Structure 1
Amino acid sequence: MSGKILVAGASGALGLEVVKILHENGHDLRGLVFTGDGAEKVAPYTQDIWQADASKGNLEIKDITKGITTVISALGKSVSLFTDRGNSFLETDFYANSNLLDDALKNGVERFVYVSIKGAEEATEFEIPKVHRMFEDALEASGIDYTIIRPVGFFSGLNDLAIMAKRKLIPIIGDGSAKTNSIHQKDLAEVVVKYLETGPQVIEVGGPMIHTRKEMAEMIKNKIGGKIIEVPEKVAEWGMFLPEMVDEDMSDKLKYFKHITTQDMIGEKNGSITFEEYLRDLDLKELP
């Protein structure tokens, strides 16, 4: 399969790494970004950049897939407690991707690669995996050739703990015994590009090493400092209700954070970059 590739969410932690790999391999690219800053990040790799809010559909992205052979969507709302782009998870993760899919079907796109999250099929009582699963269902029903990639989590998604460590506290919920093999966004980008032309319908992806949550907290402590605080699960559960009185978005994030950090989240091993290496190269000045 050859042709032009649309990368949605092109300026995000994962999307930008995908763009870099495709550019290095000589692919013709179009990027979808949300902000002017995002456009500046993508500009060295393609001049075909759409700055738009895909959740608004034809108002902003009509025919964005015209001339496109493959869509890669790394489009989604950040789960970080320290960032907020304004739109809800439903708008960003479901409506935006659904609008892209509708446009792709209209314009005869051949393949759609979607980056979802592990747990999308089994944790639908939580808003974040629920909206990912909603789009997975739409993609599966569309008839287009597709691959759904479910990473267990990015290293950059653990930056919240690094930010808290700068404030001298590193909270872990429960005893920290739950295991995960989070993956560096560069390694995950290699997986995404691997399935550019063909691949399984669904794959769960992790990084090269499995650690407990407490082990990862210890690595953050060794890098930054701070005190590890174990928050009992019951205390965390009660705490999840309080933000609903102020901010539903924050509540969704906290509930999901509690869920994923107290469950084993392990995917197929990929890549070579370890969490220790990621922390070694982390520029603390870039964290708030």
Structure 2
Amino acid sequence: MNITNTQTVLLAGATGYLGGYIAKALVEGKYNAKLIARSVQKLQALEQQTVKIIKAEVTQPETLKGICEGVTTVISTVGITRQKEDLTYMDVDYQANLNLLNEAKKAGVKKFIYISAINGHKYRHLKIFEAKEKFVDAVKNSGLDYTIIRPNGFFSDMKDFLDMAKRGKIYLFGNGEQKFNPIHGEDLAIVCLQAINAKNTEIVVGGPDILTLNEIGEMALDAWQKPIKIMHLPDWIRRFAISSLRTFASSKVYGPIEFFLTLMAEDNIAPRFGTKRLHTFFKDEVSSL
């Protein structure tokens, strides 16, 4: 998979979980690329003749001036799971990406690829999705060709199961038979680069294995070589927790919890892609600790 020397891909969010895999894929595929990051030291090993590392902060539009010159495709993985440094979801998932989109339009970029999440339109009432989907609207109305990637959760998001399993017990709401298929960042990076050739579309994608929450819990416990202990909590506790958090906690606290508790309550199955397996990811994570 490659593109011609007359094209250049700009990647924003190159030091994040998914961005790191995309950056590696751009280098291995010999793409002409610009990788932008707040901390360029993390990317220095990737710099070469066809790959430029540029220091910039998408939350500060003055640092982005001219950054899209000569770029034909922008890929943005910019977003936050947990609010920090006094930045909100609107500051990052919406406004920071909008800063980048505005620069892309000024420079005549042809294509913008943005990574949101599965069923974003359905969950716009959640704080995390409110900002992401507002930016999706901006991309679609920008006049640029676009592709919106909607992954069904990352393997890295599943570390919460490993954290519970380390303590010897998994807690789930309901019967634990809710199904979904999270995807590894390396597999998703392939989808993102393939999207360079797509036009004005949305791609919903998940990993190769459709799993129940019970099965994921069992995998996490097995990775720690713990006996299978899964406790199922009444679903009213989940609903009460969401309501209480929205009433009494800041969005910094309840945003990611609200997201997790809402999406884990029902099936979210996406078209399957990739070769990476969650049980292998869990065991690799444990062995690396």
- TM-score of the superposed pair, with normalisation by structure 1: 0.90
Paired position in structure 2 for 1:27: 31
Within 5 Å, give how 1:190-201 maps onto structure 2. 190-199=190-199, 201=201
Shift of 1:230: 2.2
Q: CA deviation at 1:274?
A: 1.1
Answering whether residue 129 of structure 2 is matched by residue 119 of structure 1, we say no
SS at match of 1:72: strand
RMSD: 2.0
Write out aligned runs for 1:164-179 (5 A): 164-179=164-179
Q: Which residue of 2 aligns with 1:230?
A: 232
**Corresponding residue for residue 44 of structure 1:** 45
Q: TM-score scaled to structure 2, two decimals?
A: 0.89
2:130 aligned partner: 130
- 1:160-208 deviations in whole A, cap 9, x for unaligned? 2212322344222222111001101100001111112334511100111
C-alpha deviations, 1:44-74, integer Å up to 9, x for none?
112633333312323x222221221110111
Distance 1:285 1:239 in 2: 33
Relative to structure 1, the CA distance from residue 237 to residue 61 in structure 2 (aligned partners, 3 Å threshold; closer, same or farther) is same
Separation of aligned partners in 1, 2:171 and 2:91: 30
Deviations 1:204-249 (A, max 9, x none): 0011110111111111011123743323221122223444534321
Q: Distance in 2 between matches of 1:135 and 1:148?
A: 10
CA offset digits 1:233-277 (Å, max 9, x no partner): 211222234445343212111111111111211111110111112
Per-residue CA deviation, residues 100-148 of structure 1 (Å, 9 max, x unaligned), is 1001000111111111100111111111122111111100001101111
Q: Which residue, 55, 59, 64 being the options, matches 1:55?
A: 59
| Aligned residues with identical type, % of pairs | 31
CA distance in 1, matches of 2:11, 2:142: 19
3-state DSSP class of the match of 1:92?
Answer: helix
Q: Which whole-Å CA distance do the structure 2 matches of 1:136 and 1:238 have between them?
A: 30
Q: Deviations over 1:22-48 (max 9, x none)?
A: 1011112211223x3xx2332211263
In the TM superposition, 1:1-288 aligns within 5 A as 2-34=6-38, 36=39, 39-46=40-47, 48-58=52-62, 60-78=63-81, 84=84, 86-199=86-199, 201-224=201-224, 225=226, 227-244=229-246, 245-283=248-286
- Supply the distance in 1 between the matched residues of 2:96 and 2:178 (Cα, whole angstroms): 33
Q: Tell me how many residue pairs correspond in the alignment.
A: 279
* CA distance, structure 1, for counterparts of residue 274 and residue 85 of structure 2: 30
Question: Are residues 277 and 146 of structure 1, via their aligned partners in 2, closer, same or farther at CA, if it must alter by over 3 Å?
Answer: same
Separation in structure 1 between the aligned mates of residue 255 and residue 169 of structure 2, nearest angstrom: 22
181-190 vs 49-58, which deviates more?
A: 49-58
Paired residue type of 2:80: K
Unaligned runs of 5+ in 2: none
